[in-house]
Structure 1
Amino acid sequence: MTATDPTPAPTPVPPPVPPPAPTGRAGRWIERWDPEDEVFWKATGERIARRNLWFSVFSEHIGFSVWTLWSVLVLFMGPEYGLTPADKFLLTSVVTLVGAAVRVPYTFAVALFGGRNWTIVSAGMLLVPTVAAFAVMEPGTSFSTFLLVGLLAGVGGGNFASSMTNINAFFPLRRKGWALGLNAGGGNIGVPVIQLTALAIIGAGGGPRVLLGVYIPLIVVAAVLAALFMDNLATVRNDTGAARDAAKDGHTWIMAFLYVGTFGSFIGYSFAFGQVLTNEFGRTPLQAAYLTFIGPLLGSLIRPVGGRLADRYGGARITLWNYVGMAAATAVLIVASTQRSLALFVPVFVVLFALSGLGNGSTYKMIPGIFQAKALAGGLTGEAAAAHGRRLSGAAMGLIGAVGALGGVGINLAFRQSFLSYGSGTGAFVAFLAFYGVCFAVTWAVYLRRSAGRVAPAAAAETKPRLSYAEV
């Protein structure tokens, strides 16, 4: 009896690798985008997302530099300009205010025009305030003219909101803390960079128009690079319903309040630090410029660290203890301001800057996590929960970023009033200390209190888990 050869087992067919995300429309539009799909992410998504991240960082970096331009220009404006310290604080306040206000429309412009397209437009718009400042920056110009040109510089603050909304859509939830922290930190670093550039120019005997002349070509470069290397996501549609839903959610406004304490502090101190040094401690513009860049630099560099720590330990926990540190640093600043101790004031102010940057990273990591946690608790799973989280968090970021930036307005107005009333910044620091205490209490009560943080075990398969924010 002849043995029959067994039929060979079929060769396993490997799962298909998703093709590169197609660009089916003119203007570098990507039609398919699913970063939560591990296979898609490793095959093509991560490379595209990282490329868009780097060029987004550069454009946002230039935007921050233009937004904070007047924090540097006021140091050039000596007695011949006829401006009082109160005038200068008011000028920087209105620049911050416009930067906060334009963040809301900038957020939704990404969905309307596409992330790449809007980055090109928003970068190009930075030419308007820069060229205008170049034209009017001389003694004899009226204060009202300076205010008007300062208002134009506020558009630089909007670049942050559109950039964060755009990058939020590119990355999976597990990478958002790092990606958003890096994107924001790279943008924030535009503050110390323009201050360092001003330091070099002042030291070389140059004037404010030299500084402006450096940035005009950089703005053009940012717009060109965005056009050449960035992409639009077709999956990010203009969704007015998302804005309405985000505005109705209480967590949007709670996070906006917390972001006032972190980013509001960062941008407010960035505008005010040099003026405090010149008005309270008698530093010359050049002496102040040697010190003002250090705090924003560390605050910018540490922001991705805040995001990474939030990815690992939970944004709520990092944010809570960060407020403890900010309050402690502010208490020391009150002592330094009362005693007029520059040697104590500067290093502690730098520490406060660094903590504000760390908190920026941890609070922004919380936003997508909160909305996805609510989706999971509501019964959604998998991609449906992730898509819900992306939809609401992208819309909420514009509102949160706008309100957070208003904190910078409050800080400059607080310093203005403190100098008018007491001749120093001590009164303002007392107010900031009280505010950080409230931020600590809100973070604990809403996101880490035991009754809010406990997850009840599911007794049956159909039981929904209780909502927990401790890990967001």
Structure 2
Amino acid sequence: MPQPAATSLKQATLPGANLALLLATLAFAACFSVWTLYAVMGIALQQQLGLSATQYGILLAAPILSGAILRLPLGILADRYSARLLWLYQMLAVLPALLLLPTVQSFTGYLLLGLWFGISGVSFTFGVRYVSQWFASSRQGRALGLFGVGNAGVAITFVLVPLLIDYAGWQWVGPVYAGGLLVISLLFALLAPKEPLQSTQARPKGLSLRQLCADARIWRFSLYYYFVFGSFLALLLWLPQYYMQAYAMDARQAMAFTLFFVATSSMMRALGGWFSDRYGGRAVNWSVFWVCIVCLFFLSYPPTTLIIHGLEKDVQLEIGINVWWFTLLIFIIGVAQGFGRASVYKVIHDYYPHHMGSAGGFVAAIGALGGCTLPIVFGLAQDALGIVTGCFMILYGVLALCMITMFFANQAAQYQQKLAAARSDNFLLDEDQPV
């Protein structure tokens, strides 16, 4: 399996790198805004169609599911063919689904259409492969972190969709988004520089699905990304409803608070890339997990009324988190997740510099599945338990698994380092060395 290979990478950033990064980030932001369209539409659709919490979670998950599943096979293709061209074809393929959106009336119809325009979620895999080819290894964290700021494209949805509904009506959401994506596609086709020659000629053979599945390290990175990205996706889809249920907000207030979480988390990804270049991706990951698990501990505790029976009277204690403390904790988690999304891909590039399409696509697919599966699990937990904080209990368990996995992986790595050092000092003999 691949080992860290920074010494084999080009040490200079190529001409045209900044233009490629700029256009890739704009295209990713546009595609991400389409991918998360149901984050805003979902609340109105839930009321219009009379959906349960579980059905609501399934509706939110539909676009995320198709985008997640396709990241792996298309990521493998991006290692073998032009990621730039594949990305352009993907954007054009989404346009008919957006144009058909005003014609849908049923729950099944929205699910099918969501699966169609959900292929816009593959843009991240294409973008990682495209951007990583332009920059030296010492700048990969910052470059991929800046590219990841395209997550803020969901802010376009949180701002634009309510305005369109107020001034034009639901029927214009799909066509306006189709027009915007078409403009971005044309700009990308005309201005985005073609990939470097060394990336399109004599490419290293991409990793096969069997090789990816057999690599335990890839699965560990995928689990980490399942939390830092998958739960970010799940929260941006789920938080509007949570604010409305837990704090009796109207839809606009809930969207505004969620937008704050999304925007700050997305912007922090660039800073997380810089920290990863400077201090190492693994160290940033471990710090992120500790910050998040402390916050999730408090968020998981449901509002509770405790009655203490005294000698003369009962004492009633109210335990709960008000909206401002809740927003602060969510803000901290969002910032930490922004750092974590950048650091995971910095580590992936350290180990798989020539396979960012296949290796990065595999990790991105598993991470995006978190945005698909977690809202459904949130809905099931809420319907079954009747506890509004059940979503944070689920996230706490996922993060605990991540931390246990990382702890034992680090222990094993340290053991191997000590073993190698001992052998280099002739303290231990290699197995094939004659006695």
TM-score bracket relative to the smaller structure:
0.7 to 0.9
Q: Distance in 2 between matches of 1:50 and 1:458?
A: 45
- Measured in 2, the distance between the counterparts of 1:345 and 1:205 equals 32
1:382 equivalent in structure 2: none
Amino acid at match of 1:399: F
**Corresponding residue of 2:330:** 349
Kindly indicate whether the alpha-carbon contact (under 8 Å) linking 1:316 and 1:448 is maintained by their aligned counterparts in 2: no
- Once the two structures are TM-superposed, the CA of residue 149 in structure 1 deviates from its matched residue by 1.1
1:81 maps to 2:81: no
C-alpha deviation, 1:94, in angstroms: 2.3
Decide whether the 8 Å contact of 2:76 with 2:208 is kept in 1: no
Percentage identity across paired residues of the two chains: 24
Aligned residue number for residue 362 of structure 1: 343
2:264 aligned with 1:301: no
Change (3 A) 1:453 1:207: farther
| 83-92 or 231-240: bigger deviation | 231-240
1:95 shift after superposition:
2.1
Runs of 4+ off more than 6 Å: none
Q: 2:258 is matched with which residue? A: 292
Asked if 1:315 corresponds to 2:277, the answer is no
Structure-1 separation of matches of 2:181 and 2:142: 26
Counterparts of 2:46 and 2:401, CA distance in 1: 38
Counterpart AA for 1:225: L
Q: Which residue of 1 aligns with 2:176?
A: 214
- Give the Å deviation of 1:343: 3.0
AA aligned to 1:228 is L
Match of 1:273 among 218, 239, 242: 239
- Residue in 2 aligned with 1:247? 213
Question: How big is the shift at 1:156?
Answer: 1.4
> Which residue, out of 75, 80, 84, partners 1:116?
84
Q: Is the 8 A contact 1:246 1:392 kept in 2?
A: no
State the SS of the aligned residue for 1:83.
coil
- Asked if the contact 2:133/2:195 (under 8 Å) is kept, the reply is no
| Structure 1 CA distance for aligned equivalents of residues 364 and 55 of structure 2 | 26
Question: 1:445 maps to what in 2?
Answer: 408
User: Is the contact made by 1:72 and 1:198 (CA closer than 8 Å) also made in structure 2?
Assistant: yes
Query: What secondary structure is seen at the aligned counterpart in 1 of 2:74?
Result: helix
2:190 aligned counterpart, secondary structure: helix
Query: Looking at CA atoms only, which structure, 1 or 2, has the larger radius of gyration?
Result: 1
Give the letter for the 1:208 counterpart: W
CA distance in 2, matches of 1:71, 1:432: 19
State the partner residue of 1:133: 101
Structure 1 residue 35 displacement after superposition: 10
Report the alpha carbon displacement of residue 189 of structure 1 after superposing the two structures with TM.
0.9
Tell me what 1:229 maps to: 191
TM-superposed CA distance for 1:221, in Å, is 1.4
Equivalent of residue 390 in structure 1, options 345, 350, 353: 353
For 2:421, give the aligned amino acid.
A
Q: CA deviation at 1:336?
A: 6.2
Find the aligned partners of 1:118 and 1:395 in 2 and give their Cα distance: 14
Q: Unmatched 5+ residue regions in structure 2?
A: 1-6, 305-319, 429-435
Match of 2:127 in 1: 163
Q: Offset of 1:215 from its aligned partner? A: 1.9
What's 1:410 paired with?
Answer: 373
State how far apart, in whole Å, the 2-side matches of 1:200 and 1:341 are.
29
What is the CA distance between 1:431 and its match in structure 2? 2.3
Q: CA RMSD in A?
A: 2.6
**Separation in 2, partners of 1:122, 1:113:** 14
CA distance in structure 2 between the partners assigned to 1:299 and 1:310 by the alignment = 16
Q: Distance in 1 between matches of 2:275 and 2:184?
A: 30
Task: Output the TM-score relative to the length of structure 1.
Answer: 0.78
Amino acid at match of 2:301: V
Tell me if 1:176 matches 2:140.
yes
Q: Secondary structure at the match of 2:16?
A: helix
**Cα pair 1:278 1:285 within 8 Å, conserved:** yes
Q: 1:238 to 1:98 in 2, by over 3 A?
A: farther
Deviation at 1:340, TM superposition (A): 6.4
Does structure 1 retain, via aligned residues, the 8 Å contact 2:207–2:355? no
Aligned pairs, number: 400
**Amino acid in the other structure paired with 1:422:** L
1:261 to 2:208 alignment:
no
Structure 1 portions without partners, runs of 5+: 1-33, 372-388, 464-472
Q: Is the 8 A contact 2:218 2:363 kept in 1?
A: yes
The structure with higher relative contact order (CA 8 Å, sep 6+) is 2
Q: Distance in 1 between matches of 2:155 and 2:302?
A: 23
